[in-house]
């Protein structure tokens, strides 16, 4: 069962989309949830609706000091973390690789990849001490495929999948798991900006002929974070309606 029985789970990128849907579901299933994102007001508003088992801690995860301060505040509030859902990320910018901004490249890798490493370094020691823990990172179809015009995003998402596997094998003897969830085309606030004709073309690329919802992704995230997935580690799990493993002509 995906019952968290009061376990503390930290979710980054929790103010909207996949992170918010997962935070809500975790609370509904008994977890104490620390929600991290950049805007404290949005976190406070959502936490007030979720009740005493949710709290918000503002941080830009790409700022190591700010991230570590927020993680410390979260563990002081709810106790050591059983779970981490490292979901925060940047899309970067669509531009040719040869003219891509070096500063933006560094920023995307810092937010999408390095911040995950920082968070794991901060939280995993307590998981090891407790003899249980679950780490889930948000990858992308770009973790598994090349994509033109956004080298930073593709590099960061390939990197976070590799990091999750490295952490999984290293922490497995301590009963701490690490997995990577791979969203396909998921309806989030970012997709609201897509023109209807382009959205229709995206739907046609999916064997199920539709985008997924944040709640559908959250269901898988909650399973992978939960004790129900006790023998699942070092895996990448796509929630994509069949896109990655099919070829339709």
Active site residues: 153
How far apart CA 120 and CA 127 sit, in angstroms, is: 10
CA angle 134, 128, 229 (to 5 degrees): 25
The DSSP secondary-structure symbol of 13 reads: S
Tokens at 74, concatenated: 């979260």
Count each helix (H run) and each strand (E run) in the chain, helices first. 8, 9
Sign of CA dihedral 237, 54, 114, 96: positive
Calculate the CA 118 to chain-centre distance: 14
How far apart CA 139 and CA 198 sit, in angstroms, is: 23
Closest of 158, 171, 162 to residue 125, by C-alpha: 171
Could you tell me which residues come within 8 angstroms of residue 150 by beta carbon, excluding any fewer than 6 positions away? Answer: 91, 92, 93, 94, 95, 142
Token pair 């407790």 is found at 130
């Amino acid at each position: 069962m995906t019952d968290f029985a009061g376990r503390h789970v930290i979710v980054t990128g929790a103010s909207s989309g996949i992170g918010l849907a997962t935070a809500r579901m975790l609370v509904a299933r008994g977890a104490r949830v620390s929600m991290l994102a950049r805007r404290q007001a949005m976190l406070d508003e959502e936490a007030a609706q979720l009740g005493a088992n949710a709290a918000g801690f503002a941080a830009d995860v790409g700022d190591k000091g700010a991230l570590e301060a927020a993680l410390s505040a979260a563990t002081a509030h709810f106790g050591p973390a059983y779970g981490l859902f490292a979901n925060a990320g940047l899309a970067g910018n669509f531009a040719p690789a040869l003219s891509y901004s070096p500063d933006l490249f560094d920023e995307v890798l810092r937010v999408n990849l390095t911040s995950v490493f920082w968070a794991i370094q901060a939280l995993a020691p307590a998981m090891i001490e407790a003899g249980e823990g679950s780490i889930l990172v948000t990858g992308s179809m770009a973790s598994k495929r090349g994509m033109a015009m956004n080298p930073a995003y593709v590099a960061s998402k390939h990197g976070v999948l590799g990091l999750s596997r490295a952490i999984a094998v290293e922490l497995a003897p301590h009963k701490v798991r690490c997995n990577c969830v791979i969203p396909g085309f998921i309806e989030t606030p970012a997709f609201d900006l897509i023109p209807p004709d382009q959205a229709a073309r995206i739907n046609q690329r999916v064997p199920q002929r539709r985008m997924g919802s944040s709640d559908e992704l959250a269901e898988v995230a909650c399973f992978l974070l939960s004790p129900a997935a006790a023998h699942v580690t070092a895996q990448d799990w796509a929630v994509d309606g069949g896109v990655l493993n099919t070829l339709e002509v």
